[in-house]
A = this chain, B = another copy of it.
């Protein structure tokens, strides 16, 4: 943004071993990755259990819910928007899905479908208001957050909804080989997101809108539709996260996921995506989410006083962002 940041870049880098290395280093993923490695090593030194396979899979499984929310958040932030409703939408989707199965005795498929529709519907609602209503995303999604939480509580009457068919837990705790199902789901969703962002016109348009919305519109990008789509995607990933969370908790929880939106945003920004939009990589978000998960896990493993954990986490996030700030 500042005049200094517009420094000439090497055009047509010469191919050599050094330059390959430099190119890796020049990738926007490099710094989040370095942050991840540094934090992992620190955690490994401080706690013997950290680097066990079972613990690493444990971290990935814990991370999966926020990481999946962060996929939708990445799309939204790339267009220069924000979605504060993801945690509440996730809770509502899980609650409705569980409620339909348990309270209304519907087949599980109907419940899951309804959960997805809740996510899509609220995403659509956000998207329409932001894109055509031209209302600021932060306030639209804040309002949606309140609405979704309220609806979840009304529907459930404040009680968590348990008594789900036991196979639902497969989504949360199942494994394929040794890999937990949530981790596989997360990997798949990230792959799809990457293809969407980097191999389709839609992805280009997402980046273009974040880069310069007026110019994108002038070039013929259907900015409203693209913006609608990113909020719908965010609603969809929230519903998918709900599925995994429901499998993990084996119940529909209207108050689940409070504050998850902030974790998802932190993951996106830690991953190197510019909060103003236009720049960022989806795998950066994955790195950011894992970084946050490792912080939680490692500090827990070390048995640090929980109050102190918040403080340490805050400083480490600051440090990670500071190191990586050139890319922002």
Contacts and interface: CB of A to CB of B under 8 A. Distances in A.
A266 B136 CA distance: 11
Given A129-B318, A138-B265, 10 more contacts: A3-B217, A84-B262, A134-B328, A136-B275, A139-B265, A142-B265, A143-B314, A145-B314, A146-B310, A146-B313
Interface of A: 1-3, 84, 129, 133-136, 138-140, 142-147, 149-151, 153-154, 158, 213-214, 217-218, 262, 265-266, 269-270, 274-275, 305, 307-315, 317-318, 321-322, 325, 328
A145 B265 CA distance: 14
B265 A328 contact: no
A146 B263 CA distance: 11
Contact of A218 (B3, B217, B310, B318): B3
A143 B318 contact: yes
Nearest to A270: B139
Contacts of A136: 269, 274-275, 321, 328
Contact of A139 (B129, B135, B149, B266): B266
Given A149-B310, A315-B147, A322 B135 contact: yes
Nearest to A273: B136
A77 B220 CA distance: 31
Contacts of A312: 150
A203 B135 CA distance: 26
Contacts of A310: 146-147, 149-150, 153
Contacts of A265: 138-139, 142
B150 A317 contact: no
Nearest to A269: B139
A129 B266 CA distance: 16
B2 A217 contact: yes
Looking at A147, A158, A266, A270, the one whose CB has the most chain B CB atoms below 10 A away is: A147
Nearest to A129: B318
Given A315-B147, A322-B133, A325-B134, A307 B139 contact: no
B311 A146 contact: yes
A214 to B, nearest CB: 6
Looking at A134, A139, A142, A305, the one whose CB has the most chain B CB atoms below 10 A away is: A139
Contacts of A274: 136
Contact of A146 (B2, B138, B314, B328): B314
A307 B218 contact: no
7 contacts: A133-B322, A133-B325, A139-B265, A139-B266, A143-B321, A149-B310, A150-B312
Contacts of A154: 305, 307-308, 311
B144 A314 contact: yes
B213 A307 contact: no
Contacts of A2: 134, 213-214, 217
Given A147-B315, A313-B146, A317-B143, A275 B138 contact: yes
Nearest to A317: B143
